[in-house]
Structure 1
Amino acid sequence: MMTNFGEFTLEGYRDALASGNPTPGGGTAAAVALSQGAALAVMVCNLTIGKDRWMDGWTHSEYCLRIATPLMSLGHELAAADSEAFDSVMAAFRLPKESDEEKEHRKDAILSSTRLASEVPLKTAKEALVLLECLPKLAEVGNANAVTDVAVASLLVSAACKGALFNVQINADGLPDEEGRSLLQEVDEIREQAKILSREVMATVHDRINS
């Protein structure tokens, strides 16, 4: 049964991260950051929609709201899936390896669990990138009183994306050569897009604060 990190108190989640157990770890933290960043984006959208002063931002805020709202819960689901995937990898490495049959079974289990351990954070990174794509415009046309909240949302979502990509990268090393290389190329592409979008958000936020 997967852990529901959405039901943790902040203190409970903090203590779980700080424990001597390998899970929850960085991949889970990245997915939780996605959930938090999405929640901040939702807040900014709600502070914009229906406010006459920010009417120019209603349409984009409604668009962002449709993207960010499901990510609040999906982030927690990915957090649990990431921890479970890592635990599966560790369990595979602990399988017996005395006979040829056991060795083959262990090898297959390691490969399948490693593949899953790369797929989960890759989904976290991709979902984060989709949300990041909304934020430059939200920083521009959303409620100006909440523009710094867009900045914090961007920082959280960027951390979620880049943090998850590190987990993809380390697991790609355990995959067959061509599969691993293809995955690493995708990692580089997502990382570059996230960097560009993050800078766009920050530039817009600074411009709006200083205008």
Structure 2
Amino acid sequence: MLDTKTVREFIGELGSNSPAPGGGSVAALCASLSSALASMVFNLTVGKKAYEALNEEEKALVNKYLEVSGREKDEFLDLMNEDTEAFNELMAAFKMPKDTDEEKAARSSKIQLGYKAATQVPLKVARRSYEIYEGILVCVKYGNKNAISDGGVAALLAQSAIEGAILNVKINLSSIKDEAYTEEIRSELKKLSEDGMKKQKEILAIVNQHM
């Protein structure tokens, strides 16, 4: 499992001649790092003077996203592992026998299913990474201002996760023959990218106001 490796071990494997882990797992890792940074800011906020100065609604938001970000960072690590597993399953489909017409048909069907499965993991990463922005916005608005730059980095990582995941969806979509399926997803990807950039811009504007 990738999440049990040391940082050096993971980077070493990433830079090797093995095609997995690759960009999909890195996108999920970026999302995990983004959530972890938001979690850190919330942990540096609760119980401090600035926190006590917040109204009850604002405190509730901080407490909510403290819990959410702590959970998300672990869930994205699970998706990092799932992305590599989906890729390996797709590669296994390509190794199926293709001597007879029946074998060719079975192999082709398995490959198409494999591409769809390999699409679903990064698609989930992109969707979930966009949701991170809700917590990051709370983080930079009400979090410890001494750590607001960390909230900015969290926003940068969130968009990197979205864009990286989108690229990994697209490369699999190009091999899927179901046009209705691919068109629907491409439309969603475009919206996720555009909406994510707007959220990132909003958050970075708040961050830079305090610099």
Give the TM-score normalised by structure 1.
Answer: 0.93
1:163 and 2:160 matched: no
Which residue of the partner structure matches residue 34 of structure 1? Answer: 31
- Residue 136 of structure 1: how far off its partner (Å): 2.3
Which residue of the partner structure matches residue 17 of structure 1? Answer: 14
- RMSD of aligned alpha carbons: 1.2
Task: Give % identity.
Answer: 33
Q: Distance in 1 between matches of 2:62 and 2:125?
A: 22
- Partner letter of residue 149 of structure 1? D
- Residue 196 of structure 1: how far off its partner (Å): 0.7
- Partner letter of residue 81 of structure 1? E
- Partner letter of residue 199 of structure 2? L
1:8 and 2:37 matched: no
Q: Distance in 2 between matches of 1:114 and 1:173?
A: 9
- Partner letter of residue 204 of structure 1? I
Q: Where does structure 1 lack aligned partners over 5 or more consecutive residues? A: none
- Partner letter of residue 181 of structure 2? E
Alignment of 1:95-106 (within 5 A): 95-106=96-107
Which residue of the partner structure matches residue 191 of structure 1? Answer: 193
Alignment of 1:49-88 (within 5 A): 49-55=46-52, 56=54, 57-88=58-89
- Partner letter of residue 40 of structure 1? L
- Partner letter of residue 194 of structure 1? G
Alignment of 1:119-198 (within 5 A): 119-175=120-176, 176-198=178-200
- Residue 9 of structure 1: how far off its partner (Å): 0.8
- Partner letter of residue 171 of structure 2? I
Superimposed CA distance per residue, residues 47-100 of structure 1 (whole angstroms, 9 cap, x where no aligned partner): 111112233253222122232111111111111110111111122122221211
Residue 19 of structure 2 aligns to a residue in which SS? coil
Q: Where does structure 2 lack aligned partners over 5 or more consecutive residues? A: none
Q: Distance in 2 between matches of 1:161 and 1:153?
A: 12
Q: Distance in 1 between matches of 2:66 and 2:110?
A: 40
Report if the CA contact (8 A) 2:3-2:81 is conserved: no
> Bigger CA drift: 133-142 or 185-194?
133-142
Equivalences, count: 206
